Structure 1
Amino acid sequence: EAALDVTKLVDQLAEAKRPRQAVGIWQTTDGPALSYGYFIAKNKKLTIMATIPDTKKHVAVGLEITF
Protein backbone atom coordinates (compact mmCIF):
# COMPACT_ATOMS: atom_id res chain seq x y z
CA GLU A 1 0.00 0.00 0.00
CA ALA A 2 1.30 3.45 -0.89
CA ALA A 3 0.06 6.96 -0.25
CA LEU A 4 0.79 10.08 -2.26
CA ASP A 5 0.13 13.53 -0.77
CA VAL A 6 -0.67 16.00 -3.57
CA THR A 7 -2.01 18.78 -1.32
CA LYS A 8 0.90 21.13 -2.03
CA LEU A 9 0.63 20.56 -5.79
CA VAL A 10 -3.12 21.23 -5.76
CA ASP A 11 -2.58 24.43 -3.75
CA GLN A 12 0.07 25.61 -6.25
CA LEU A 13 -2.22 24.91 -9.21
CA ALA A 14 -5.10 26.77 -7.56
CA GLU A 15 -2.85 29.75 -6.87
CA ALA A 16 -1.56 29.75 -10.46
CA LYS A 17 -5.13 30.07 -11.77
CA ARG A 18 -5.89 33.04 -9.50
CA PRO A 19 -6.06 36.37 -11.36
CA ARG A 20 -2.96 38.51 -10.86
CA GLN A 21 -4.40 41.80 -12.08
CA ALA A 22 -7.66 43.72 -11.78
CA VAL A 23 -9.17 46.80 -13.41
CA GLY A 24 -12.16 48.81 -12.26
CA ILE A 25 -14.44 51.69 -13.17
CA TRP A 26 -15.70 53.85 -10.30
CA GLN A 27 -17.93 56.86 -9.74
CA THR A 28 -16.49 59.18 -7.08
CA THR A 29 -17.63 62.55 -5.77
CA ASP A 30 -14.89 64.04 -7.96
CA GLY A 31 -16.09 62.27 -11.12
CA PRO A 32 -15.48 58.94 -12.84
CA ALA A 33 -12.31 57.05 -11.98
CA LEU A 34 -10.34 54.09 -13.27
CA SER A 35 -8.36 51.69 -11.12
CA TYR A 36 -5.67 49.12 -11.70
CA GLY A 37 -4.76 46.48 -9.16
CA TYR A 38 -2.01 43.89 -8.97
CA PHE A 39 -1.99 40.96 -6.55
CA ILE A 40 1.34 41.18 -4.71
CA ALA A 41 0.62 38.14 -2.54
CA LYS A 42 -2.00 35.43 -2.15
CA ASN A 43 -4.56 37.74 -0.54
CA LYS A 44 -3.07 41.23 -0.91
CA LYS A 45 -3.68 43.57 -3.84
CA LEU A 46 -2.02 46.92 -4.51
CA THR A 47 -4.48 49.28 -6.22
CA ILE A 48 -3.97 52.64 -7.92
CA MET A 49 -7.00 54.81 -8.72
CA ALA A 50 -7.29 58.12 -10.60
CA THR A 51 -10.16 60.27 -11.84
CA ILE A 52 -10.41 60.51 -15.61
CA PRO A 53 -9.55 62.67 -17.46
CA ASP A 54 -8.41 65.06 -14.68
CA THR A 55 -6.02 63.05 -12.53
CA LYS A 56 -5.38 66.11 -10.33
CA LYS A 57 -8.84 65.81 -8.75
CA HIS A 58 -8.45 62.43 -7.16
CA VAL A 59 -5.55 59.98 -7.11
CA ALA A 60 -5.25 57.18 -4.57
CA VAL A 61 -3.07 54.17 -3.82
CA GLY A 62 -4.28 51.46 -1.50
CA LEU A 63 -3.60 47.95 -0.25
CA GLU A 64 -6.58 45.59 -0.27
CA ILE A 65 -6.59 42.40 1.77
CA THR A 66 -9.06 39.73 0.67
CA PHE A 67 -10.37 36.92 2.85
Structure 2
Amino acid sequence: MQYNVWNKSFFPHLESPYSPCLSLQWTLRAGQVYNVPVPLLVKGDIILLRPSHKAPARCKALQVLT
Protein backbone atom coordinates (compact mmCIF):
# COMPACT_ATOMS: atom_id res chain seq x y z
CA MET A 1 0.00 0.00 0.00
CA GLN A 2 1.30 3.45 -0.91
CA TYR A 3 1.02 5.94 1.95
CA ASN A 4 1.86 9.04 -0.07
CA VAL A 5 -1.29 8.83 -2.21
CA TRP A 6 -4.21 11.01 -1.07
CA ASN A 7 -7.62 9.41 -1.13
CA LYS A 8 -10.92 11.15 -0.35
CA SER A 9 -11.93 8.18 1.82
CA PHE A 10 -9.18 9.17 4.29
CA PHE A 11 -11.03 12.41 5.20
CA PRO A 12 -14.55 13.41 6.31
CA HIS A 13 -17.07 14.24 3.58
CA LEU A 14 -17.03 17.87 2.36
CA GLU A 15 -20.56 18.43 3.69
CA SER A 16 -19.91 16.94 7.14
CA PRO A 17 -21.88 18.75 9.84
CA TYR A 18 -20.08 21.15 12.17
CA SER A 19 -18.41 19.53 15.17
CA PRO A 20 -17.11 21.47 18.18
CA CYS A 21 -14.56 18.67 18.68
CA LEU A 22 -12.95 18.74 15.24
CA SER A 23 -12.08 21.75 13.11
CA LEU A 24 -12.16 20.88 9.41
CA GLN A 25 -10.92 22.96 6.49
CA TRP A 26 -11.71 22.60 2.80
CA THR A 27 -8.29 22.16 1.22
CA LEU A 28 -7.07 21.87 -2.35
CA ARG A 29 -4.41 19.18 -2.28
CA ALA A 30 -3.06 17.22 -5.26
CA GLY A 31 -5.67 18.84 -7.51
CA GLN A 32 -8.70 17.69 -5.46
CA VAL A 33 -10.71 19.24 -2.63
CA TYR A 34 -10.47 17.43 0.71
CA ASN A 35 -12.01 18.18 4.12
CA VAL A 36 -8.79 18.14 6.16
CA PRO A 37 -8.59 18.44 9.96
CA VAL A 38 -6.76 21.72 10.69
CA PRO A 39 -3.88 20.02 12.57
CA LEU A 40 -3.10 18.03 9.38
CA LEU A 41 -2.69 21.08 7.13
CA VAL A 42 0.80 21.35 5.65
CA LYS A 43 2.78 24.01 3.84
CA GLY A 44 1.63 24.14 0.24
CA ASP A 45 -2.01 23.28 0.95
CA ILE A 46 -4.45 25.71 -0.63
CA ILE A 47 -7.34 26.35 1.74
CA LEU A 48 -10.74 27.39 0.46
CA LEU A 49 -12.36 29.95 2.73
CA ARG A 50 -16.09 30.53 2.69
CA PRO A 51 -17.90 33.67 3.85
CA SER A 52 -17.41 34.33 7.60
CA HIS A 53 -14.64 31.72 7.90
CA LYS A 54 -11.30 32.68 9.39
CA ALA A 55 -7.98 31.42 8.12
CA PRO A 56 -6.75 28.60 10.40
CA ALA A 57 -3.08 29.53 9.93
CA ARG A 58 -0.78 32.13 8.45
CA CYS A 59 -1.84 32.41 4.82
CA LYS A 60 -1.45 34.54 1.75
CA ALA A 61 -4.31 35.32 -0.63
CA LEU A 62 -4.09 33.75 -4.07
CA GLN A 63 -7.46 35.06 -5.24
CA VAL A 64 -10.16 37.17 -3.63
CA LEU A 65 -13.69 36.95 -5.00
CA THR A 66 -16.10 39.78 -4.28
Under a length normalisation based on structure 2, what TM-score does the superposition of the two structures give? 0.25
| Structure possessing the higher radius of gyration over alpha carbons | 1
Structure whose residues are more often strand by fraction? 1
Under a length normalisation based on structure 1, what TM-score does the superposition of the two structures give? 0.25
Q: Which one has more relative contact order, counting CA pairs under 8 Å at least 6 apart? A: 2
